[in-house]
Amino acid sequence: MDEITKMKHGEWYDANNDEMLIEMRRVAKAIAYDLNQIRPDDVESKNQIIEKLFGELPENIEIITPFQVDYGTNIKLGKNVFVNCNCYFMDCATITVGDYCFFGPYTGLYTATHPLDYEARNRGLERALPITIGNNCWLGANVSVMPGVKIGNGCVIAAGSVVTKDIPDNSIAAGVPAKVVKTIQQ
């Protein structure tokens, strides 16, 4: 099984030495660089680059640059998504975001995890687990979402939180690690 297939199946794969994965990241980072150089008022050019980066143009997408990805094509965004500045979507596995979601500045969605054993880690191994965020969510500034996490519909994640476990629908979660502190009556 090649490294891309292992990556897509959530198995341990060599992210640091596989030439195809390295080239895919180079291409995506070059496209993200182009996106980050566009004037904020040049919406047409910005949308063309977003479509090139994601492989599709999400409806009514707004990305405030700078914005970073690993591959781009593993990101699936719903309609009316707002991504504030300095966000990083580490899309080694699929990142799925529902409709009407807001991401505060410096939010990170991290699908990759590394072995605890330093010898395996030093060989470049990692594993990628998907992240899913439901509809109508708001992640505040400096939120970090860890590999394999699912955030339900209608959730608010407080600024500075680190989400390490699934969050049920209509929850306010806060802290490090994030814990549900309240249910939202929608």
Q: What is the pLDDT of residue 54?
A: 97
Could you tell me the two tokens for 90?
A: 């580490």
Q: Please give the Cα distance from 107 to 159 (Å, whole number).
A: 9
pLDDT per position as a tens digit, 48-83 = 999 999 999 999 999 999 999 999 999 999 999 999
Q: What is the pLDDT of residue 95?
A: 98
**Domain 3-183, what fold?**
UDP N-Acetylglucosamine Acyltransferase; domain 1 (2.160.10)
Q: What is the pLDDT of residue 63?
A: 98
Which of the four pLDDT bands, split at 50, 70 and 90, describes residue 186?
A: confident
**Cα 153–Cα 159–Cα 165 angle in degrees, nearest 5:** 50
**Cα 38–Cα 100–Cα 65 angle in degrees, nearest 5:** 20
- Among 114, 129, 150, 160, which one carries the catalytic annotation? 114
Could you tell me the two tokens for 85?
A: 């500045």
Give the domain ranges of the chain: 3-183
pLDDT per position as a tens digit, 29-46 = 999 999 999 999 999 999
Quote the DSSP letter at residue 120.
H
pLDDT per position as a tens digit, 142-175 = 999 999 999 999 999 999 999 999 999 999 999 9
- Are 131 and 93 in contact by the 8 Å Cβ rule? The answer is yes
**Quick check: is 114 catalytic?**
yes
